[in-house]
Amino acid sequence: MNSIEFRRELHRHPELSFEEHRTQRFILDALRAEGIECREIASTGVLAKIEGDRGNLSRAVVLRADIDALPIEEQNDVEYRSENRGVMHACGHDMHAAVLFGVVKTFAHNRDFEGTLFAIFQPGEELNPGGAIKVLEENPFEGYDVAAVIGEHTDSRLEVGEIGICPGMFMASNDELRYWVRGRGGHAARRTEIDDSVTAMAEMVIRTTAMNTPSCVLSIGRVIAEGATNVIPPVVSAEGTMRTFDREERVRIHTLLRAAAREVESKYGVTVEVDINHGYPCVVNDVMLSYEAMIVATDEGVTVKELQPMTAAEDFGYYTERYPSLFYRLGVGKAAGGSHTATFLPDEGAIAVGERVMRRLALHILNK
Ligand SMILES: [Zn+2]
Ligand SMILES: [Zn+2]
């Protein structure tokens, strides 16, 4: 099976996050048909392993693709259109998996390399807490010295034949913020008998957004105080988002938010509950790996664009926390349109480009 056939099969049968049962079966069968050792991982994912003919087998490179689809009804009129109603590969994960399949196939058929190559077909990227953390919880690389984890994402801002790399901080962490202020509600005119939950929340909101910096975004998008002109409600709630590119700053801001809540409590005599729902951590690219990838890709005739950090989040961040890692963008052409839409249609010409870059980079690191 070639990579395009592989991609179209996935595209026809998309499955939602952590429901990738058919996808998993298909990938296992396709890999085994090529004589590649593989097994299930993270419930609906696949881990493949290829050992080189020389060198120290405990030195490893890990390649990662995600495999889940989105709850979108496809509008594209293509022969391989989604056959699962209301589900679509609208984020290009079918493309990522096809590139990875093509790469592991060439490694399996020519084992003239040093060390061990792993390939993760990872489930559940689109759904918190994400499949990456489930993969890592199983410790699949225990006993290996992981030299690099490499992943990619399709990008319609780039043309086919282009990739985008951002050395260092690349994609933001994404946390959800929820606040509840509770106090004695009551008649708005009898201020000695109530706790001013509304003003207390207003102060919480202002203290939160005052922490905004160019590298850390805090926004509160929803505040609910169901009182009236003359009624102070006993509960006021708020919700917002926090995104940052720096691990230490993320922890520091979490601490500051909780400290602000304590201060508002003592000032207004209310209780302030702060719930921070941790999303994906930042994607931080290894700087050396980034520049090596730029050289390797250029050598392959691929145009490399240096990218600015993005405020979107990716569960690839979990790998970057643990191992030297690189996540780059693969151009699929502006005509592809926006991802997460019903008409997203990446140019399949990108698959061959993605394979060339990933194969050469993996080989370069393994043989170093
Ligand atoms: Zn997506
Ligand atoms: Zn995606």
Per-residue pLDDT of the chain (368 residues; tens, 9 = 90+): 999 999 999 999 999 999 999 999 999 999 999 999 999 999 999 999 999 999 899 999 999 999 999 999 999 999 999 999 999 999 999 999 999 999 999 999 999 999 999 999 999 999 989 999 999 999 999 999 999 999 999 999 999 999 999 999 999 999 999 999 999 999 999 999 999 999 999 999 999 999 999 889 999 999 999 999 999 999 999 999 999 998 899 999 999 999 999 999 999 999 999 999 999 999 999 999 999 999 999 999 999 999 999 988 999 999 999 999 999 999 999 999 999 999 999 999 999 999 999 999 999 999 99
**From ligand 1's centre to the CA of 202, what distance in Å?**
34
Are 168 and 178 found together in one domain? no
**From ligand 2's centre to the CA of 337, what distance in Å?**
14
Give CA separation, 238 vs 93, 181, 200, 203, 270, in Å.
Answer: 34, 9, 12, 12, 15
**From ligand 1's centre to the CA of 154, what distance in Å?**
10
**From ligand 2's centre to the CA of 96, what distance in Å?**
9
Query: What residues have CB less than 8 Å from 73, skipping those under 6 apart?
Result: 85, 86, 88, 342
Are 191 and 266 found together in one domain? yes
Are 147 and 17 found together in one domain? yes
**From ligand 1's centre to the CA of 93, what distance in Å?**
8
- Where are the extended beta strands (E) located within the chain? 37-41, 45-51, 59-66, 116-122, 145-155, 162-165, 168-171, 173-182, 186-187, 216-225, 231-232, 235-244, 271-277, 283-285, 303-306, 325-331
Are 45 and 80 found together in one domain? yes
**From ligand 2's centre to the CA of 302, what distance in Å?**
22
For residue 268, the surrounding DSSP H or E stretch is helix 247-268
pLDDT given for residue 214 in this prediction: 86
pLDDT given for residue 247 in this prediction: 86
How many domains is the chain partitioned into structurally? Answer: 2
**From ligand 1's centre to the CA of 128, what distance in Å?**
12
Phi-psi region of 362 (alpha: psi -120 to 50; beta: other; left: phi over 0): alpha
Are 286 and 149 found together in one domain? yes
d(CA 123, CA 218): 29
d(CA 137, CA 134): 5
pLDDT given for residue 180 in this prediction: 98
**From ligand 2's centre to the CA of 219, what distance in Å?**
24
**From ligand 2's centre to the CA of 314, what distance in Å?**
7
Q: Quick one: DSSP state of residue 88?
A: B
**From ligand 2's centre to the CA of 89, what distance in Å?**
9
Are 165 and 297 found together in one domain? yes
Query: What domain range includes position 289?
Result: 3-172+282-366
pLDDT given for residue 324 in this prediction: 98
**From ligand 2's centre to the CA of 13, what distance in Å?**
17
Are 29 and 156 found together in one domain? yes
Q: Do 146 and 120 meet the contact criterion of CB atoms below 8 Å apart?
A: no
Backbone phi and psi for residue 357, each to the nearest 5 degrees, phi listed first: -65, -50
pLDDT given for residue 55 in this prediction: 87
**From ligand 1's centre to the CA of 103, what distance in Å?**
22
Are 238 and 256 found together in one domain? yes
Domain boundary residue, one of 277, 308, 331: 277
Are 60 and 137 found together in one domain? yes
Domain boundary residue, one of 277, 311, 331: 277
d(CA 254, CA 258): 6
Are 98 and 218 found together in one domain? no
pTM for the structure as a whole: 0.90
Q: CATH no. for residue 228? A: 3.30.70.360
Are 8 and 105 found together in one domain? yes
Are 82 and 225 found together in one domain? no
Query: What residues have CB less than 8 Å from 270, skipping those under 6 apart?
Result: 181, 182, 183, 195, 196, 197, 200, 264
Q: CATH no. for residue 43? A: 3.40.630.10
**From ligand 1's centre to the CA of 126, what distance in Å?**
6
Give CA separation, 3 vs 101, 103, 293, in Å.
Answer: 7, 9, 22
Q: Which ligand number lies closest to the CA of residue 340? A: 1
